[in-house]
Chain A
Amino acid sequence: MKESALKNAEAAVQKAAAALQKTAAALQETATDLLAQKAVDLVIGYGRSSGGDVVPLFVGRVEEAQALEWNQHCTYNLVRYLTDPEVIGSFGSNRGAKKIKSGAGMEEATAKGAGKAEAVAGKVAVVVKGCDLKSLMVLQSENQLRRERLTVIGLPCPGVTDEAGRVLAKCESCPPEVYNPRKELCDLIIGEPVQRPAGEPLSNPDNQDSTYRDVERIDALNPAERRELWDNYFARCLRCYACRNVCPLCYCKECVFDQHDPRWVSPAAAVASNRSFHLIRAYHLAGRCVDCGECERACPVGIPLRRINRKAAKVVEESFHFRAGLDPEAKSPLVVFANEDPEEFIE
């Protein structure tokens, strides 16, 4: 009995891998066509580093399109690069900046020095999973993209895994309308819609009967316990800003944490200033964060950053009935108000 279940699971994994391979081939073909017809100047997708890891890949020439990959290790949110002046050049609102050399993986590109290559003429195709697409929607709603210059290639996603091969927690709670990117929001969809078996038990208890179970568990603690819990995490924070730098929605030209006058938050990696840093980061993402989980993945000291951002998302959802990333026309809940907004906390 057990053995046959195991065999079934193995067969399912193999089948999924074959489907991904097929999608990857179709993606390479599409990228080749787009570049050959000069419909785009750059395709941002996934490739392999010299070490064999899946990394972001920037394809500017037809012959490089064969290096594009699509598999279960494609965790990165490539939407991040759409507002990055070093990568995108004249695309988006960052006119005049330089792009990196096409065809290079990110690490080689930075090693060789970004900015030497010619500027991108402006048309970019980007490969997105459904969850990444949500962050693109937020950028679009905030007027950070020139959508007409962008070709969005959506890939139905069976869920991505971490380095140890476990499916990420965020994928386990991912609904069908997200893991199969919505047609009307993409220019192209490559690959068949993914079917995930209904009622499949989720291995992560955080997601089992409530979307915000992880947050609720912390809410249930008393203030002193919450303080201790978070202070222990904040004591580890190195203030490396990886969480900020990897975030697709952190596009401010001058970040408040880099300002010297006034210096709102001390750059010292101490518990008190780290608490301020994480609170303000969460606040800036309230009503915007789409829970792509890149911050938590990038954190070198394992702070559960999603649990912070999801608290803000939960409050926004309960108080203002808003979820980020679903509608490119939606306004962020903090730039609008309603007369009937809750005010029980106000005397």
Chain B
Amino acid sequence: MKKLKIVGFLCNWCSYAGADLAGVSRMQYPEEIRIIRVPCSGRINPLLVLKCFQEGADGVLVAGCHPGDCHYQEGNLYARRRMLILRSLLAYFGIDERRFHMSWVSASEGKKWADTVHSLVKDVRAAEAEAKAGVPVW
């Protein structure tokens, strides 16, 4: 089975701490995700996501605080609008939607983080299986 390359952008305050909790709790999840810590999900420029795909990522995840929990009050609510548009444009251009995930993971949700990565990897694998031979991700 092909080893996937998946990039995860995690906000510093919730999701990164949630992933950390999953780690210290010894929860198992696929190692195919590479984590990039960002100050806030509101910092994610859609160009960052496209850059990942251009450079060969098989999937991208954006994770941030639940609505109402943002360290900067509202960064994740801007991110929600941005990622909604980005996701629909990706789908419109025929990029399998399952390659791009967004998730709310709080600092106490180590289990949810592990589950998120499991379902992401499963989705990307499903997208890979259905992809036409010879057509690159980007």
Contact = CB atoms under 8 A, between A and B. Distances in A.
A283 B74 contact: no
Contacts of A341: 77, 80-81, 84
A225 B132 CA distance: 11
A276 interface: yes
Q: How large is the interface on A (under 10, 10 to 19, 20 to 34, 35 or more residues)?
A: 35 or more
Interface in B119-133: 119, 130-132
Contacts of B83: 345-346
B38 interface: no
- From B54, B90, B104, B135, residue with most partner A Cβ within 10 Å: B54
Interface string B50-64: 110010000000000
Contacts of B89: 279, 282-283, 308, 311-312, 315
Contacts, number: 111
A33 interface: no
A336 B59 CA distance: 28
User: Main secondary structure on chain A at its contact with chain B?
Assistant: helix
A287 to B, nearest CB: 8
B94 A283 contact: no
Contact of B88 (A223, A229, A311): A311
B93 A345 contact: no
B46 to A, nearest CB: 5
Nearest to A311: B92
A335 B81 CA distance: 9
A343 B78 contact: no
Interface of B: 46-47, 50-51, 54, 67, 74, 77-78, 80-97, 101-104, 116, 119, 130-132, 135-136, 138
27 contacts: A224-B132, A226-B91, A227-B93, A227-B94, A230-B93, A230-B94, A265-B50, A275-B93, A275-B138, A276-B50, A278-B93, A279-B46, A279-B90, A280-B50, A282-B89, A283-B46, A283-B85, A308-B89, A308-B92, A334-B78, A337-B80, A341-B77, A341-B84, A346-B103, A346-B104, A347-B101, A347-B104
